[in-house]
Amino acid sequence: MPIELKMPALSPTMEEGTLARWLVKEGDAVKSGDLLAEIETDKATMEFEAVDEGTISKIVVAEGTDGVKVGAVIALIAGEGEDAAADEAPAAKADAPADGKAPAKAEASKAEAPKAEAPAKAAAAPAKPAAPATAEAATSGDRVKASPLARRLAAAQGIDLAGLSGSGPNGRVVKADLESAQPAAPKAEAPAAAPAPAEAAPAEQPAPKAPATSDIPHEASKLSNMRKTIARRLTESKQTVPHIYLTVDIRLDALLALRGQLNAALESRGVKLSVNDMLVKALAVALTEVPSCNVQFAGDQLLTFTRADISVAVSIPGGLITPVVVDAGAKSLSTIATEIRDLAGRAREGKLKPEEYAGGTASLSNMGMYGIKQFEAVINPPQGMIMAIGAGEQRPYIVDGALGVATVMSATGSFDHRAIDGADGAQLMQAFKRLVENPLGMLA
């Protein structure tokens, strides 16, 4: 029996992915550890390694195919001594997860054919003219082979797949084959004149068509898996998590002075502390001091954590990712600085491991480098809070009972009110302010 290669779950939140590129082709011999494909997840583009040895006998899902569900069969490996041709039968069954409902209908028609071949053909004959050509190609037993992406693009552009020659595996029509194809004008108008079947307009696609009546010049771009996940999770957060916001103004002069002294001492070790590194440490220590805020709402339970793992928001091309500094309260500032630099660098290259951005008990998002004075961040579920950091700037400030000028920043905590009361949130903000204004306290 051939070995089925299935779409892996490469991140904790991944439900489907895009098979961006195959690194092998049919007939290639592979062994454990060989790179097979590049898969775009909701967080990054990651490489998929082989676990078993054998020969790639069939590539089921063509590269460029999006919306491939986790667990769907994407390729078949023939073991030693197996005939690659014998893998064709199970491959047809493996198409089901990638192509949706259409293969199920095709299997049903094949199963009924041996029982009464002639009557089946006679009954099917009058039914074919009543269905649009694209629907017939998608649902008939001898349907045109095409990737899900190619089907959606063809439906949107009014292109008849039956008239195309596929360049994908086994003649499969892929996205590249549509670029030189000319849309059929009559078919493009057909959906407006006649009732279109469900498969002609997939349920997940109506949103982009809604604003198409606008005369404003624009360019439509397909959402990446990362952007889809960001949209889904933040919508979920604002709809299901009751946010409460608490803001304090914090004087930074003492922290900046200490940072300068520490950087001078650490220069020989090649370590340079940023203000953000010190704020991560301050938040972790504050959460340790106020454990009622180091919590997570979990239905009928409240989880109280015994260490503070801080997720640090990092902007990357196409989105945002939050690598985690584990047990930040117990680590030195130099260790935190080194870890954050490494995590942020690999995050921008899409090389983080899932365990490096999963979890976290609280988050910190710093937009001070953009000159943002103050903002309210959205909680990253299932965490219970996030600290939003604004820019440090010269402001009038009461210093030793007299009006003076100081470097001040605004910090806003967003708290899940289901798990954290306002008074507890206020205690955390008070502890965070004290640690930043008296930074030696976080080093004790």
How far is Cα 394 from Cα 117, in angstroms, rounded to an integer? 85
What one-character DSSP code corresponds to residue 414? E
How far is Cα 336 from Cα 275, in angstroms, rounded to an integer? 12
Our answer to whether residue 417 is catalytic in this structure is yes
Catalytic residue among 417, 426, 430, 434: 417
- Name residues whose C-beta falls within 8 Å of residue 208's C-beta, 6 or more positions apart in sequence: 220
DSSP string, 65-78: EEEEETT-EEEEEE
Are residues 248 and 429 in contact, defined by beta-carbon separation less than 8 angstroms?
Answer: yes
Are residues 39 and 20 in contact, defined by beta-carbon separation less than 8 angstroms?
Answer: yes
The CA–CA distances, whole Å, from 96 to 199, 204, 382 equal: 15, 18, 33
Q: For 434, what's the count of Cα atoms within 13 Å in the CB-facing half-sphere?
A: 12
Pick from 16, 422, 416: which is nearest to 237 by CA?
416
How far is Cα 377 from Cα 385, in angstroms, rounded to an integer? 9
User: Rounded to the nearest 10 degrees, how much is the dihedral formed by the CA atoms of 65, 69, 72, 75?
Assistant: 30
Q: Helix, strand, or coil here: 4?
A: strand
Active site residues: 417
